Structure formats: structure tokens, C-alpha cells
Amino acid sequence: MAGEFAQQKKPIRWHIAVFLAPAVLVYTAVMIIPLFGTLQLSLFNAENQQRFFVGLDNFRKLFGDPRWSASFWNALWNNTWFFIIHMLVQNPIGIGLAALLSSPKLRFSAFYRTAIFIPTILSFVIVGFAWKLILSPLWGVAPNLLDLVGLKSLFTPWLGKEEYALTTLGLISVWQFVGIPMMLIYAALLSIPDEVIEAAEMDGITGMAQFWKIKLPLILPSIGIISILTFVGNFNAFDLIYSAQGALAGPNYSTDILGTFLYRTFFGFQLQTGDPYMGSAIASMMFLIILTGVCIYLFTIQTRLRRYQF
């Protein structure tokens, strides 16, 4: 029996490799090779157009040199604050909107869904430019609108003040991307079977209590996914800050996040020539930060999330 089994070796399943090949090849060429190229580049430096290996010197400089480390920690903290704004504002609002949209009593829900999602598909450049105009103290509508309701005194040039600029940009980004958590949660809510809801109603759980006790636990895995998407997106962010505030992320680097810091270092800016080696060191740190964040999520949070099979 055993010998017969050994002779009947499973044929090699070529089709798996063939079907995977295009994706693997493309992904390797445009993602994996550049990623390792960057990690490798961060261990080098150049002088007189001669590249040589320096080990971890670039990282030592990034954390040891008071100026480099001040810029790095400033960018990291700003980035964290950017992320906090998204977690505290974007995701709760997204969940709330999804809950409202999934209510069967709501009319025109398709219209709202589309309208709220549209900013997400706009280019960063358009969003940055439009909001710069809206908030402009000279030609913007924001001061006039506030004036109409008698709150003109509340207006300040938000994008030009150190204390407000980053929060303002964070909220602009929330405005742009609130459609993503909304759509994901909306889909999750729709996938909850009617039997579960009906059973809850039989038990007398309706309205808000139904949302908190029945729906929210069922959509927790989706919320987890959204959090991790937000985390990765925010720590890779660059475009909005660059288009609204420029590469120097003014005023006084108060809106500098890791992405703009990397850009300035890697490509240079104005008279500053680019330093690909220090830039790669920053890029490697960004990769490590995101990797750590994702690992923490995967190994501590996701494994504990209970999944319900219907």
C-alpha cells in the first residue's frame, strides 16, 4: 500500500507558479528590490563620487547629531499627532456615517455615500490648493462665512500659525479620507445577517443599544483593519503637506512629518543638495516604524479579535 502511494506522487502543480508569476515578478521589481535597495543604501555614504560602506554611521548621525535627531523626533511627533487626529476624528466619524447610511430609513443614502466619498478620489494637489484658497485670509471664503454667523473673531490664518497648522492639515486630510472608513464599515454593517439583528430585536435590543451591543462587536475586525490602514497611510503621508506647505513644511517645521523630512533630505531642496544616503536612513526608519506598528497589530490585537462565522 505504502509503496503504491509513493509511486502515485502528486504532479507538480505548475499552474500555481504560472498564475502567481506576474504578480510576484511585478511586485518584486517595483517594491521588494527597491525596498532592499533603500535599506542597503542607508549603510553607505559617498565622498568625491566614491561610494563606500559605513555600517550604521548614518543612523548614528540621525540619532546622535543634535540637529538631525531634533528634526527626526520633531517629524516623528508631528506624524504621531497627525495619526492621533485621524484615529480620533476620521475613524469615529467614518463609523458614525456608516451607521447612519446603513439605516434602512435613510433616504438618498446612495447620494450621501457618493458625495462623502468623492473627496477621496481627488488629487492631493487639488485638495491642498482648494483648502489653501478656502482658508486664505485674503480671498478665502472661511473668514466671510465665519463673519456671517458673527464669529469672525475666531478666524486666524490657521495654515500660517505654528500652533494650528498641523491640526488644520490633519483635519483637511480627515475631510478627504473619511470616505474610506465609511465605505469599509458600511460594507461590514451590510454583511451582518438579518437573522442576528432580528434575534436581537426579539430580545428587546433596539436602537442605540443594538448598535453598541450587536453591530459594533461584529464590525470590530473591520475597525482593526481601518486602524492599521490609517497608521500605514499616515506614516507614509507626504503629498498633502507638500502641496499645502511646501517642502520646508513651515511655519518653523511645525508641519514637518517623516515624509517631508525624507523628501528634503533625499532629493534636496533649493540650495540644499540631496543626500541619498541619509535619506535612505530616514526611509529605513519609516519602514521600521511602520513594520513595528503592523506587527504589534497583527500579533497582539488581531489574534485576540473574535470572528463570527455566519
Pick out residues in 67-106 that bind another protein (CB under 8 A): 67
Q: In whole angstroms, what is the distance from residue 134 CA to residue 144 CA?
A: 10
Among 248, 289, 294, 301, binds another protein (CB under 8 A): 248
**Least spacing, CB of residue 274 vs another protein, in Å:** 9
Stretch that binds another protein, among 83-91, 115-123, 158-166, 209-217 (CB under 8 A): 158-166
160 lines the binding site for another protein (CB under 8 A) = yes
Among 25, 161, 217, 305, binds another protein (CB under 8 A): 161
Pick out residues in 194-233 that bind another protein (CB under 8 A): none
Stretch that binds another protein, among 104-112, 129-137, 217-225, 281-289 (CB under 8 A): 129-137
Q: In whole angstroms, what is the distance from residue 218 CA to residue 189 CA?
A: 8
Non-local (6+) Cβ contacts of 119 within 8 A are 127, 175, 176, 177, 178, 179
* Residue type present at position 62: L
Stretch that binds another protein, among 130-138, 170-178, 200-208, 228-236 (CB under 8 A): 130-138
Q: Which is nearer to another protein, 87 or 130 (CB)?
A: 130
Pick out residues in 270-289 that bind another protein (CB under 8 A): 270-273, 275, 278
Nearest C-alpha neighbor of 279 from the set 30, 53, 39, 49: 39
Among 167, 246, 297, 301, binds another protein (CB under 8 A): 246
Angle formed by the axes of helices 179-190 and 216-235, nearest 10°: 150
Other CB atoms within a 10 A radius of the CB of residue 189 amount to 20
- Site string (12-51) toward another protein, x via CB under 8 A: -------------------------------------x--
Q: Which is nearer to another protein, 83 or 158 (CB)?
A: 158
Pick out residues in 131-150 that bind another protein (CB under 8 A): 132, 135-139, 143
Q: Which is nearer to another protein, 36 or 129 (CB)?
A: 129
Decide: 178 and 94 in contact? Cβ < 8 Å. yes
**Least spacing, CB of residue 181 vs another protein, in Å:** 29
Q: Which residues contact another protein by CB under 8 A?
A: 49, 67, 132, 135-139, 143, 155-162, 246, 248, 250-253, 269-273, 275, 278
